[in-house]
Amino acid sequence: MPAANNTNKFLTLSEILSQVRIVVAREFSMPIWIKADMLKLNHYSASGHAFPELVEKTNGKVTAKCQSMIWADDLQRIATNFRQVTGKTLSDGIEILFRAEIRFHEQFGMRLRIIDIDAQYTLGQMAMERKKTIEKLKTEELFFLNKQISLAEIPGRLAIISAATSRGMHDLKNIIFTAGAAYKIKMTLFTAVLQGARGAETIASRILQIGKRADEFDAILIIRGGGDDTGMDCYDDYALARTVCECQLPVITGIGHSTNETVTEMVAHTNKITPTDVAYFVVGKFSEQLMRLQDLTAQLSAQALMTIAEQEQFLQDLAQSVSEIAREEFQQQKDFLMQAGNIIQQKSFQKVAAATTKLDSSAAELRTASQRVIMTQQHRTDMLNSSLSQHFQSFIRKNNSTLDILESKVTMLDPQNILRRGYSITLHEGKIVKSGKALKDGSEIETVLLDGRVKSIVQKNKKDKK
C-alpha cells in the first residue's frame, strides 16, 4: 500500500471525535425519551450512583447496547417514584421508558445521563404481562383448577409457606393459639423468600415439595405480612401461578396485599387478604363443624325427650287399660263365686231336704230299730254335713286368694302408685297431653305430681324435626 501523501487532507482521531461531539450536542441539545431494556442497574452503594447497562433486543438478540448513568440524587428520586407507582423496586431485567441527556466525550465515548424514568410505562408493561399470564392459564384450562379441589371440613393439618420471622406468621399463630385453642390444629412451616426476584422460584419449589407429602396435609397456606408492597410482582409470575393451579392440595393465600389482586391470589383455592383473615377462616371452619355437632346434639336430645314423653304416655294408657281390665276380671270372678256359692247352697239344701224326706218316709220302719242304729245314722249325717262344710270353706279360701292376687295387681297399676315411682302426668285443659305438637307457645299446662299439682306456661315448644 503506498504511503500517505503529506499534502493530502486528513483528520486526527481527536478531531473526528470532536466533530461527533459537536454533532451530538447540536442534534440532541435537549433531553429525549428513549425505550430500552435495563439489563443491569449497576448501583454502587458507596457513591449512591448507578451505571445501568442498556440494551435493545430483537427476537431475543441484542441489536443495540449503551452505557448510561444516574447520579445519586436523581436515582433516589426516580427509585422512590418508581416504587410508589409500580410497587416494585428499580432493578435488573425490566423494560423502561426513560428521559436522558445524550453526552459524547472524546475520551469516554457516548453515554446517556438518565434524569427520569416513566414508572407508568413500566406499570403498563407489567399489567400487559399480567393479563397475558391470566389469559394463558385460562387457555390451558388451569385457572380454576385449584378452586375445584374440595377443602377438608376440618382443615387441621396445615403446610405453611412463610418466613420464620414474618410478622404475618406471628399473627397467624397468635390467632390459631387463642381463638382456635380448643381445636387440634397442626402447623408445619416451609420457609421461603416471600417477595422480590427469588420469591416466585422459592415459593413454587416449596409447593412442589409439599405436594410430594400431600397425604400429610389438608391445605397449603402462603403467608406474608408486616412489610410494604414492594416486590409483589413475583406473585404475578406465570410459573408460580401454574404451580398453584396444578397443586393437588387447596392453596389459601394471605399475603397482605390489599390493592390489586395478584394472579397467584386469583388462582388460589381461597384468598384472604391478611394472615389474620386466613387464621380466622381456618378457625371458622372448626367453629362451623362444632355448631353442626351442637345442632345435631340438640336435635337428638329433643328426639329423646319426645320419645320418653311418648313412652310415659303409653305406660299411662297401658296402666289405665290394665286397671280397667283387672276391675272387669275381678268383678267377673266375684260374680262367678257368688253364683257358685248359691248353686252349692241350693244343692246342699236339696240334698238335705231329700235326705230328710227319705228319713221321714222311713221313720215308721226305723222306729222299731234300736236307738244305737238311730245314733249311728245320726252320726253319719253329722259327718256328711261337716265334710260338706269343709269343702265349701276350702273352695271359698282358694278363690279369695285369687281375688287377693288380682287386687294386688290392680293396686300396682293405680295412677297414684305410678306417681309414687317418680312419674308425672301433664294436663292441658283437663286432658292428658300425649304429644308436644298439641301445645303452643303460651299454653298453660298442669303437671300432676304425687304431692300436688304445678301449673306452667309453655315458652318455647321444640318440635321434632324429621
What's the predicted TM-score (pTM) here?
0.51
User: What is the SS3 string spanning 326-347?
Assistant: HHHHHHHHHHHHHHHHHHHHHH
Does residue 228 carry a pLDDT above 70?
no
pLDDT band at residue 83 using 50, 70 and 90 as cut-offs: confident
Q: Which positions ≥6 away from 99 have C-beta within 8 Å?
A: 31, 32, 33, 34, 114, 115, 116, 117, 118
Which range scores top for mean pLDDT: 72-81, 326-335, 424-433? Answer: 72-81
Task: Give the contacts of 281 (CB within 8 A, at least 6 positions apart).
Answer: 252, 270, 272
- From CA 85, how far away is CA 78, in angstroms rounded? 11
**Fold of the domain spanning 13-129:** OB fold (Dihydrolipoamide Acetyltransferase, E2P) (2.40.50)
E-only strand ranges, 234-382: 251-254, 270-271
Around Cβ 113, how many Cβ atoms within 10 Å? 15
What Cα–Cα distance (Å) separates residue 209 from each residue in 47, 190, 203, 205, 212?
Answer: 42, 9, 10, 6, 6
At 126 the pLDDT is: 78
Query: Is pLDDT larger for residue 69 or for residue 399?
Result: 69
- Cβ neighbours of residue 262 closer than 8 Å, sequence gap 6 or more: 232, 235, 236, 255
- Asked if residue 465 has pLDDT above 70, the reply is no
In CATH terms, are 13-129 and 135-289 the same topology? no
Q: How far apart are CA 315 and CA 31, in angstroms?
A: 104
Instruction: Kindly list the domain boundaries of the chain, sorted by start residue.
Output: 13-129, 135-289, 424-458
What is the structure's pLDDT at 247? Answer: 95
| pLDDT tens sequence across 172-203 | 999 999 988 888 899 999 999 888 768 889 99
Neighbours of 426 (CB within 10 A): 20
Residue 466's pLDDT band (boundaries 50, 70, 90)?
Answer: very low
Maximum distance among all alpha carbons in the chain? 215
Between the CA of residue 302 and those of 7, 329, 336, 436, what are the distances in Å?
121, 40, 50, 11
In percent, the amount of the chain with pLDDT more than 90 equals 32
Q: Averaged over 276-298, what is the pLDDT?
A: 89
Pick the CATH number of 135-289 from 3.30.9.40, 3.40.50.10550, 3.90.1150.10, 3.20.20.70: 3.40.50.10550
CB 145 within 8 A of CB 245: yes
- pLDDT confidence of residue 463: 57
Distance of CA 395 to the CA centre of its chain: 77
- pLDDT for residue 44: 94
Q: What is the mean pLDDT of the chain?
A: 85
Q: How far apart are CA 265 and CA 243, in angstroms?
A: 12
Distant-in-sequence, close-in-space partners of 290: CB < 8 Å, separation ≥ 6 = none
Least confident segment among 2-6, 83-87, 170-174, 245-249: 2-6
pLDDT tens-digit series, residues 8-29: 688 888 888 888 889 988 888 8
Contact 435, 310 (CB under 8 A): yes
The mean pLDDT value for 57-68 works out to 87
